[in-house]
């Protein structure tokens, strides 16, 4: 089923967002989280994206990449997301968020409105994509504590949705996410 067919069905039902949601995209660097977030935003009403890279340059600039700091990054994103949900917005989070405990805490904070999407992509493919050149720097020892190289990524145990960005197109992945969330509406 394509995005267009899903949206056509939804538009004909005149279904609108009845409950705001936080769609948390987690996965390795280069897996496609930000790309998915930008495309999802085109299909979800009243939506705001919290992108991990953007937040690192702003509200999280005082944090590094230790486990403790990464946990704090996740906590801050969850709290900001909750504020946005309370303001009647849908929230898309695009963040590596490598630790299950972080994602579990945010799920507890947000409740049923939290939807975890595992943006699954093999490390080799992420390294081939390497849009920011970070994997090359990490392999050369220029970046320490890089997720997937010398810092762990704990895969989700039971995410709400898994999208395999190395096997399916952007449209197919977005369609799958939209099918498994109730955040659809016409935009």
Q: Please report the DSSP string for 67-118 in residue order.
A: HHHHHHHHHHHHHHHHHHHHTT-EEEEE-----HHHHHHHHHHHGGGEEEEE
Output the pLDDT for position 17: 39
Residue stretches of the annotated binding site for ATP: 27-34
23 backbone dihedrals φ, ψ, rounded to 5°: -100, 110
All domains of the chain, ordered by start, with CATH?
22-179 (3.40.50.300)
Share of the chain above pLDDT 70, in %: 87
Residue 187: pLDDT over 70: no
What whole-number distance in Å separates Cα of residue 3 and Cα of residue 173?
A: 9
- pLDDT tens across 22-79, in order? 999 999 999 999 999 999 999 998 999 999 989 989 998 998 888 899 999 999 999 9
**Which sequence positions are flagged as catalytic?**
97
Q: How many CB atoms lie within 10 A of CB 166?
A: 14
CB 71 within 8 A of CB 102: yes
1 pLDDT more than 60: no
pLDDT for res 4: 58
Is the per-residue pLDDT at 184 higher than 50? no
Q: Which of 143, 183, 144 is nearest to 160 (CA)?
A: 183
The annotated binding site is made up of 27-34
- Does residue 96 carry a pLDDT above 90? yes
pTM of the model: 0.86
Q: What is the mean pLDDT of the chain?
A: 88
Q: Residue 139 belongs to what H/E stretch?
A: helix 134-139
Question: How do residues 142-172 score in pLDDT, each as one tens digit?
Answer: 999 999 999 999 999 999 999 999 999 999 9
Nearest CA among 163, 171, 122, 132 for reference residue 23: 163
């Amino acid at each position: 089923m394509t995005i267009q067919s899903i949206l056509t069905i939804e538009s004909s039902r005149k279904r609108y967002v009845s409950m705001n949601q936080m769609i948390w995209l987690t996965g390795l660097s280069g897996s496609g989280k930000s790309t998915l977030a930008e495309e999802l935003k085109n299909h979800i009403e009243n939506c705001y994206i919290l992108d991990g890279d953007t937040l690192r340059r702003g509200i999280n600039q005082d944090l590094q990449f230790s486990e403790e700091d990464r946990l704090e990054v996740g906590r801050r994103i969850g709290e900001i997301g909750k504020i946005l949900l309370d303001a009647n917005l849908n929230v898309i989070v695009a963040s590596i968020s490598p630790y299950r405990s972080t994602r579990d805490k945010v799920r507890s904070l947000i409740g049923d409105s939290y939807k975890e999407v595992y943006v699954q992509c093999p490390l080799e493919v992420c390294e081939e994509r390497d849009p920011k050149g970070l994997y090359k720097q990490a392999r050369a020892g220029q970046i320490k504590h890089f997720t997937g190289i010398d810092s762990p990524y704990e895969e989700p145990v039971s995410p709400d949705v898994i999208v395999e960005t190395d096997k399916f197109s952007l449209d197919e992945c977005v369609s799958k996410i939209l099918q498994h969330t109730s955040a659809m509406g016409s935009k």
